[in-house]
Chain A
């Protein structure tokens, strides 16, 4: 026979379950079920519309990934894109947000608004805009390159080495404002007294940045790193519009490769396996940051 105290605890547990149930149902329906479906289907070889006629391959699609030179190359390119875009975005975003603190408030407000315009544009449109900007016949980039005498040297989207740089720059143009906004919010939360005290103690700009600004921004930067890092690793639309993965597969991201496999070559099982592998790599890359941010919070 249950005591009154344990009965009431039991009822409380049930109530908690009932209250959590709707949220849990949403998580299961919207996140876990598609994931389970994707994993299950990644064990089959099937074409779109022929899900029921798929051939069971078990883990063969996963093994194939590690023997597929183009897949491994696109994994490497995706990592190159992610790290270079992320590094530039963090440097520029934090740099701009600090610089804006040194100008009059109204100027900072206007400039912040102007800098944020790219955020309002869809990535596919950003891709199309930059595609024309990079065009040697019509584009402004080549026009400027010609003015400074390096148009013959600049390979733009036409040469494999240059194309990745061009794609990264277009992405940086679009997403740096997001980093800048987050960093600005982080900077606003730092008490002015700290800077005042440091100045009195004779600390210079660099010391104030290293010992006050950077440590105070660390939590914000971890969040930005997770959000932008996962976004950059899954990059699709901007590359699709700019180069479609070319020239010579030199900008082929994993998302584009999965799309091509699934919807152009109709190997849906393999495409799903690539997507699952992407998720695993993302977890390995950014999971530690997520854990770290949670503990600190």
Chain B
């Protein structure tokens, strides 16, 4: 017995710890499900949980959600977290079938994987139900290229809402003094940037080793009839068109503002916003900052244009969509919220509030919005011929390799052809 007694505290500690673990697990599971169970118990009240990235856009959206709650009696809780952790958290919840999220804000490149993993609910059956969509829903008003982005095997898995596309911005006063017109082609761009560079500035480029540079590069390459893949869908980087695009990128960096090789879109935007850069390539989501008289030294002086092209205009687009999760206990209500969030009225309100670019043609052409956001026509023009980055499961590897290659070309004096050959060789096993 004496031998047993000293072990008792250890045993009891272990038992208590195990019980504690179980209790903790049970608690976390009930936290995840609790929302819906509470709704079920009361029989009337439904609570939806939506997952998205945090920031001023989320704050504006949270403020507007009260109207939905008032109109429908459905309570909505927003789980807004850092963008860097968003996908992982969404996947962990949907993969674990916790039912914690009813509606997730997903980027177009995530959707194929979500669909193949069975995480999302197809929306086709709900689209024709006015009780869920609202009577002014007007599905045809969505930019059809964006609807296609969210469609897999003829099934729609998301309602597009937040569109991003790279955009050329320029100071109209400086361009006027230079006698320069709105740049459209590669030659225009290089010629104006060279003149500005001789005067001590240049074009501000997002040439930092990152996705921004790749987004701009692929749009330029596609405008030159290039791209990542050949017509058979095989990785084919070493083409004359792609090499020419890399050379153009290298030439452009040579006449860019100092600092460009360590700038992302937000750095370019700041340089333009504070009047240092007269010319640059930024992203549509940041253009609103340039027109805010309280924050911008150049409000009202900026001109906007789609990215320059070689053979045909082309842009890169990224779109965020609202997707109903497969494990949602309230898929109809979740869709109802998605339809409300992407309705014309709400999209217009969000556009007026923070300059958001939505996926609805009528809203992008709305005179009130265009007055407030003079960059909208350029964005609409850019979206007419635009495509996303590839959505293959190996795309992150391709993006990463291209980021490093473009950075070597821009900052390290790398040879365009050798760099493309290096990426092609590096990824040949991943894209057979």
Contacts and interface: CB of A to CB of B under 8 A. Distances in A.
Contacts of B91: 48-49
B258 A246 contact: no
A247 B262 contact: yes
Given A163-B262, A265-B400, 14 more contacts: A11-B6, A18-B6, A25-B13, A25-B17, A70-B404, A135-B267, A137-B258, A158-B259, A160-B412, A244-B209, A244-B210, A248-B209, A248-B404, A264-B400
**A interface, size bucket:** 35 or more
A131 B404 CA distance: 20
Contacts of B400: 260, 264-265
B174 to A, nearest CB: 15
B262 A157 contact: yes
A49 B9 contact: no
A249 B411 contact: no
Contacts, number: 103
A50 interface: yes
A263 interface: yes
Interface in A98-154: 131, 134-138, 142
A247 B92 contact: no
A253 to B, nearest CB: 14
Given A48-B92, A264-B396, A11 B258 contact: no
B10 A18 contact: yes
A137 B407 contact: no
16 contacts: A11-B6, A21-B13, A25-B13, A25-B17, A49-B91, A49-B92, A49-B96, A50-B95, A135-B262, A137-B257, A137-B258, A159-B261, A160-B412, A246-B210, A248-B412, A263-B84
A247 B410 contact: yes
Interface string B388-420: 000000001100100110011011101000000
Interface in B1-46: 2-3, 6-7, 9-10, 13, 17
B210 A49 contact: no
A245 B262 CA distance: 11
A136 B258 contact: yes
Contacts of B3: 14
A156 B404 contact: no
Nearest to B274: A138
Given A137-B271, A246-B209, A158 B408 contact: no
A22 to B, nearest CB: 7
B371 to A, nearest CB: 31
A195 interface: no
A246 B208 contact: yes
A85 to B, nearest CB: 20
A21 B408 CA distance: 54
A125 to B, nearest CB: 16
B200 to A, nearest CB: 11
A11 B1 CA distance: 12
Contacts of B257: 136-137
